[in-house]
Amino acid sequence: MATEFNHQSTADDVLAGMDLSSKRVLVTGGASGIGAETVRAMAAKGAQVIIAARNLGAAGEVKASVVATTGNENTDVMFLELGSLAKIRASAAEFLARYESLDILINNAGIMACPHGQTEDGFELQFGSNHIGHFYFTQKLMPALLKAGSARVIALSSMAHRMSPMVFDDIQYQSRPYEKWQAYGQSKTANILFAVGLNERYADQGVEAFAVHPGAIATPLGRHLAKEEIQALVAANKTSANNPEDEALSGIKTLVQGAATSCYAATAPGLSGKGGVYLEDCDIAQVADDPNFRGGVRDYALDSADADRLWKVTEALIHPHIQG
C-alpha cells in the first residue's frame, strides 16, 4: 500500500488537515520521547489526549507544554505502572470511571535491553512490561474501546523483533541464559502478535489493531545502554542494506519523525479493514525474511497460530495473579 509518506515524514505531516476534536486518545509512556511527541501532535489537531505514565511529574510537564504550544487544554494525566497487574487494574478502573469511551489507544511505553529482572508479579521484565502489561491494560479498557464504535489499538513494536521469535518453551528465561537483546526482540515480536490476535478477536466488533516500528530514535528508551552500544546502533542505522545509496530514507529519526507511524496507524482512513498489519515509515511493511534486508517484518511475527498461542499463554500467565 503505497502512501505519500516516507522515512522522513513527521507526525505533523501525517495529521495535516485532520480534525481530531471528536477523538479521545490515550498514550502509554506519554511523558517522554516519541510518546510525548505523539501526545503533542494529536492534541494539536484537537484530540482529547490522556497521558498515561508512571512519572506523574514528567507527565504534568508534558501536559503543560502541550497546552502552551497547542492551545488545547483538553489534555489529562493518569498514573500507569506496566510492571504491576494490580496497579494496571487500578489505572484501568480509574479511566473507566472518568471516561465513557476510548477511540485510540497507543501502547507506546516500553523498556529496552535492560539487565535481567522481574516485574512485581514475577514475569521477565521486558516481556512482562512490554507485552503482558499492555495486554492486560488493553483488555481492561476494552469496554471503552468497544463503546467508541470504531476504535484503534496501536502496539509499538520494533525492527528488533528480528532478534527473536517467540520461544514458547522458555519465554521467561527459566532454563536458558538471559540475553538482553534477544529478550527485547522476543517482547517486540510479542507486540506484533498481540496486534494480530487482538484484531482477529475484535475487528468485527469495531476495534482494529496495528503494530508499528517507529524507527530508530534517540530517546530515554536506551537508558540501559552503554555509550558504545548506542554508537553501534547509530552506525547500523546510517544506511539501509536494501537501499544503500539513499541516506535520506535511512538513519536515525527525530522525535517528530518517530511519532509519525504511530499517528498514521491511529488515524489513516486507508487502513480501515486492514488491521493486524505491521507498519514502518507510515506504510504497511513487506514480509521479509532475508537477514540482509534491513526493513520489513518477519513472517513469524504475523503468524495467526502463534498469535492465538501467545494470547492463550498470556491469559494463563496472568490468571493466577488477578481477581475480577
Write out the catalytic residue numbers: 184
Look-up: residue for cell 523498556?
111
**How many angstroms separate the CA atoms of 165 and 182, rounded?**
9
Listed residue (112, 124, 116, 113) closest to 171, CA to CA: 124
DSSP character string of 155-190: EE--GGGGG----GGGTT-SSS---HHHHHHHHHHH
**How many angstroms separate the CA atoms of 216 and 81, rounded?**
24
Please, what is the Cα angle at 116 between 114 and 118, to 5 degrees? 105
Rounded to 5 degrees, φ, ψ at 197 are -65, -40
- b/e map of 242-272 (b: 16 or more CB within 10 Å)? beeeeeeebbebebbbbbbbbbbbbbbeebe
At what angle are helices 85-98 and 134-147 packed, to 10 degrees? Answer: 20
Contact by Cβ (8 Å): 171, 186: yes
**How many angstroms separate the CA atoms of 11 and 260, rounded?**
4
DSSP character string of 105-147: EEE-----SPPS-B-TTS-BHHIIIIIIIHHHHHHHHHHHHHH
